[in-house]
Structure 1
Amino acid sequence: MVDLGCGDGRPLIAAALLCKCRGVGVDISQQCIALAKSIVSQEGVSDRMVDFFRWDLLSDQEAVLNRLVEAVEAKAQEAAIECKDGIEAVVVFLYVYPTLLARMVDLLDRLVRAWRDFRRVEVVTLTYHLEAPVGGGEGGGVLHRVCGGRVEIHTLEKKT
C-alpha cells in the first residue's frame, strides 16, 4: 500500500496491523512524518512493514517517482520472501483535497505504469473524485467503481 499525503499514517498503519500488508507513506510535513513514526512505534508495527518519507509530491515528480518505485519494489521483495504466492496488488491510497488530487494525476499515471509487473494496481480515493483515469492503455484495462459514494477504486488489471 502506498499512502500519498499520508498525514499521521493511520490508514497505512491499520492496513499493516489488520492485513499484514507492507507500505510506504509520503507527506510533505515533517511533523506528520514524525507523528506517523511515533504511532508505528506505539502500535508495535515493525519498520520492515511500513516506511514513511518526507517528500514533496509536486516539486520534483521525477525524483519522487523514482523513489516511490524503488521503495515499493523493496517492500515487495521483502514480502515475497515471506509470502510464497507473491504480491497480489499495489494499492495507492489518497485522501487529499481535490486541488492536490488534480495536480497528482500525471504522477499517479506514471506510477501505475511503472508497477505494471504487479498483478493488479488500484488507486483508491476517499471522499474526492479522481477526474482522470490512470494507467490505461496497452497491456491493461482500467475499471472504475464507486463504493458507498465516498470511495472510488480505479483498478488496472493486466489483460491476458
Structure 2
Amino acid sequence: MSDRDTSYREKVNSTSYTTALENRLYEQSERLEELHMEAAIDAQLTDIVSSEGLNDKPPLNDMDHLAPKPIFDNYVNPNSVANCLSPYVPTTAAKIAKFVEFASLLESDVLLDIGCGDGRICVSAARLSGCRAVGIDVSPLCIAMARELAREENLEDRLSFFEADATIDPKRLLQSPLLESDLKDVTVIFLYTYPTLLGRLFPLLAKFTENGKARVVTLTYHLSQSMANIAKRDEEFDLCLYNRVFDVTSNE
C-alpha cells in the first residue's frame, strides 16, 4: 500500500473529517429540499393559472385543481418510478467515506454515479481519493446543485455532471455520445437504486464491466448472484462490489 493510499484511508477513518463532511452535506440537503419545494410550488401555481377559465372539464371536486402534481417527471414522488431511479434519499457522510475505502478508489480511477442527486458521492470521492468523477441525474435542480458544490470545493477540473435519463431504451443509452467522451474511462460505478429499477441498467453495467474494465458498487439494494459476480461485501455498511454484471435483458 502506497503512502498516498494510507493517507486517504486515515482521512476516511477520521472522526473529525467525517463530522465536517456530515455537516457540509446536511447543509446541502437542506438547500436542495428548499429548491425542490419552491419548484413544486411554482409548478402548482402555474397549473392553477393555466387552468383558469377552462370550464369544459370541471374538476371532480372543488380541491382537485389544487392537488400537488409530481415534478421532474415524478422525480420527487416515491410512489411513481416513471423515468427516475429513486426518490431523493441522500447518502450519509459515514457511508460515503466507507464506500471510498470499500471500492479501493485511487487517483487513477474514474467514478460514475448514476442518480447522483446533489453530487455528494462524486465530490467526496474526488476529495478523499483524488479520482475523477461523473454524475448523471434526471433532476435539473440536483445537477445545478452538484455543479455548485463542485465549484465551492474547487473540484471542477475533476468533476462533471449531466442532466440525463439513465432509464431510456438500452440501445439508445449505449449509443449515447457520453459513452465515447466523459464515460469512456469509467472504472467504478456507484448505485443507490431501487432493485425494481436496477434491471433497466443491466445493458449499461454489462458494457462497462466486460473484460474487467470496471467494477460496480451497490449500496443497500443489490444484484442477485444470477445477475452478477460478487467480489466482496460489507455487511455493516450494506455495500456490495461486483466485478462482472450480465446483460439479463439481451434475450428478451
- Whether the TM-score (by the shorter chain) exceeds 0.5 is yes
Distance 1:22 1:14 in 2: 11
Alignment match of 1:99 (pick from 159, 179, 196): 196
The AA in structure 2 aligned to 1:147 is: D
Distance 1:55 1:127 in 2: 23
- Aligned counterparts, 1:36-47, within 5 A: 36-46=146-156
Structure 1 pair 103/60, CA: closer, same or farther in 2 (3 Å)? closer
Q: Secondary structure at the match of 1:152?
A: strand
Q: Displacement of 1:95 after TM fit?
A: 0.8
Cα deviations by residue, 1:84-133 (Å, 9 ceiling, x for unpaired):
xxxxx7000001112221322222112323xx4xx652100001111353
The AA in structure 2 aligned to 1:100 is: L
- Tell me: higher relative CO, structure 1 or 2? Use CA pairs within 8 A at least 6 residues apart: 1
TM-score scaled to structure 2, two decimals? Answer: 0.47
Alignment match of 1:148 (pick from 214, 235, 242): 235
Partner of 2:205: 108
Of all paired residues, the percent bearing the same amino acid is 37
Partner of 1:58: 167
Alignment match of 1:14 (pick from 104, 112, 124): 124
Q: Secondary structure at the match of 1:6?
A: coil
What value does the CA root-mean-square deviation take over the aligned residues? 2.1
1:133 and 2:227 correspond: yes
Cα deviations by residue, 1:31-85 (Å, 9 ceiling, x for unpaired):
1111100111111112x20101111111243343333422133xx4xxxxxxxxx
Structure 1 pair 9/23, CA: closer, same or farther in 2 (3 Å)? same
Distance 2:117 2:144 in 1: 10
Contact 1:90 1:121 in 2 (8 A): yes
Compare the two structures and name the one with the higher helix fraction: 2
- Aligned counterparts, 1:73-88, within 5 A: 73=184, 76=185
Give unmatched runs, 5+ long, in structure 1: 77-88, 135-141
Compare the two structures and name the one with the higher strand fraction: 1
Q: Secondary structure at the match of 1:104?
A: helix
TM-score scaled to structure 1, two decimals? Answer: 0.71
Q: Rg: which structure is higher?
A: 2
Tell me how many residue pairs correspond in the alignment: 130
Structure 1 pair 68/154, CA: closer, same or farther in 2 (3 Å)? farther
Alignment match of 1:72 (pick from 183, 189, 204): 183
Contact 2:208 2:214 in 1 (8 A): no
